[in-house]
Amino acid sequence: MENKKELRTWLDDLALNHPLVIAGPCSAETEEQVLKIAHELKDTDVSYFRAGIWKPRTRPGMFEGVGALGLKWLQRVKAETGMKTATEVANAAHVKLALEHDVDLLWIGARSTVSPFIVQEIADALEGTDKIVLVKNPVNPDLALWLGAIERLATANIKNLGVIHRGFSTYEKTKYRNTPEWQLAIELQSKFPDLPIINDPSHITGKRDMIFDVSQTALDLNFDGLMIETHYDPENAWSDAAQQVTPSTLVQIMKDLKIRKETDPEADYNDALNNLRAKIDVIDNQIIELLGKRMVVADGIGTLKRQKNVSVLQSKRWNEILGKMVLEGQEHGLSEEFILKMFKAIHQESINHQEKIIKK
Ligand SMILES: O=C(O)C(=O)C[C@]1(C(=O)O)C=C[C@@H](O)C=C1
């Protein structure tokens, strides 16, 4: 698949003067709950009312959604509020029911995107639809799998496509429910700059008090919209209670978010920017030059080790370097996370260099 301007048509046609907002409860619980939330969201920035009808749960025995019954409630939402509707589909039967009930936007969840079989089944069931279809990132940070799902849908002649960035599962506990790995979303945007990309801060954070911050980062990174789980009584929601916000909090979040433009035509701004970018170019070249020099030294160590038959990996020395560099980094305003990532990459490159020499 190639990037093309037309990928944005469905979004441009909405002619919004703010980011696209998809909001509503994690799960449709009762007809009253769905309609109460929908009416509270009616005159806000929300264009699409979302509600989970079928809920993929990690463990059995949890609330798994009300099923097809909830689709009737979504129809009432559309009739009574004028908002369009959105839900997750995870198989061909869901697609059939969602289309029969005229759901306007369907998304494929992270646990489905990981399975090309499921994605293909959904693509076949949706073939030729003019509904909007969004693909959440797979639970594992695999850009090819994410794009592969989009390609399957495009091949099934589905034109109104987009992606939802909901973060990635990790073994280690972090402050996020699903770590954002912004780099992946940035890479996706550089490959497909016209493919609409929506951020899902609810699933990234898992906590309502972090939603604003992640939403702002997303807008700073040119995301086109936000999907935010919203419930009038979040604490008592039947699923994902910790990450839902009330409709009034959502309105406040949208008010407080700063919307950035892609660029500014003013000459002074562009002169100053170009000046600073020239400095960055010089420094980037210096970094590469220094890294090259470091690898020449590593090659020397490799030759020495080869002569004495000593192993490449020297964990004690390596841990000393890491510890020192984290401290050094702090003094220069560099985060521990960045220093560890960068030096681990440098270490690996040094090992690769030495491996080439020692294996000769
Ligand atoms: O000090 C060494 O023995 C090296 O090989 C250098 C180096 C490094 O690049 O800093 C590389 C591999 C070792 O695990 C430790 C450190």
Residues with CB under 6 A from ligand 1: 298, 301, 312-314, 317-318, 321, 347, 350-351, 354
Beta carbons of 182 and 147 less than 8 angstroms apart: no
| Nearest protein Cα to ligand 1, atom 3 | 314
pLDDT digits (tens, 9 = 90+) for 275-329: 999 999 999 999 999 999 999 999 999 999 999 999 999 999 999 999 999 999 9
Beta carbons of 147 and 1 less than 8 angstroms apart: yes
- 5 Cβ neighbours under 8 A, 6+ residues apart: 194
Identify whether residues 211 and 340 lie together within a single domain. Answer: no
The predicted model gives 255-259 an average pLDDT of 96
- 354 Cβ neighbours under 8 A, 6+ residues apart: 298, 299, 301, 302, 305, 312
Q: How far is the CA of 335 from the centre of ligand 1 (A)?
A: 23
Question: What is the CA angle 332-282-345, rounded to 5?
Answer: 55
Q: Residue 119 has what pLDDT?
A: 98
Q: Would you say residue 100 lies in a domain?
A: yes
Q: Residue 63 has what pLDDT?
A: 83
Q: How many other CB atoms are found less than 10 A from the CB of residue 213? A: 11
Residue 58's SS3 state is coil
Please give the structure tokens belonging to residue 180.
Answer: 């954002």
Beta carbons of 339 and 325 less than 8 angstroms apart: yes
Q: How far is the CA of 282 from the centre of ligand 1 (A)?
A: 28
Q: Over pLDDT 90: what percentage of the chain? A: 94
Identify whether residues 237 and 281 lie together within a single domain. Answer: no
Last residue of a domain, one of 188, 222, 256: 256
Identify whether residues 22 and 159 lie together within a single domain. Answer: yes
Q: Residue 62 has what pLDDT?
A: 84
Helices of type H across 221-266: 247-256
Q: Residue 271 has what pLDDT?
A: 98
Kindly give the number of the ligand 1 atom that is closest to the alpha carbon of 314: 14
**Straight-line distance from the first to the last Cα atom of the chain, in angstroms, rounded to the nearest whole number:** 42
Where in the sequence is the domain holding 278, given as residue range(s)? 267-358
User: Which band of pLDDT confidence, cut at 50, 70 and 90, is reported for residue 235?
Assistant: very high
3-state helix, strand, coil in the chain (%, to 5): 55, 10, 35
Q: Would you say residue 112 lies in a domain?
A: yes
Q: How far is the CA of 298 from the centre of ligand 1 (A)?
A: 7
Q: Is the pLDDT of residue 64 over 90?
A: no
Identify whether residues 67 and 193 lie together within a single domain. Answer: yes
Identify whether residues 88 and 182 lie together within a single domain. Answer: yes
Identify whether residues 13 and 100 lie together within a single domain. Answer: yes
Q: Is the pLDDT of residue 32 over 90?
A: yes
Q: Is the pLDDT of residue 261 over 90?
A: no
The predicted model gives 1-30 an average pLDDT of 96
pTM over cut 0.90? no
With a threshold of 0.85, tell me whether the complex ipTM lies above it: yes
User: Which band of pLDDT confidence, cut at 50, 70 and 90, is reported for residue 172?
Assistant: confident
Domain count of the fold of the chain: 2
Probe ligand 1: pick from 314, 319, 357, 358, max atoms within 8 Å of CB?
Answer: 314
Q: Would you say residue 315 lies in a domain?
A: yes
pLDDT digits (tens, 9 = 90+) for 103-121: 999 999 999 999 999 999 9
Q: Which of the 8 DSSP states describes residue 350?
A: H
Kindly give the number of the ligand 1 atom that is closest to the alpha carbon of 354: 5
Beta carbons of 189 and 197 less than 8 angstroms apart: yes
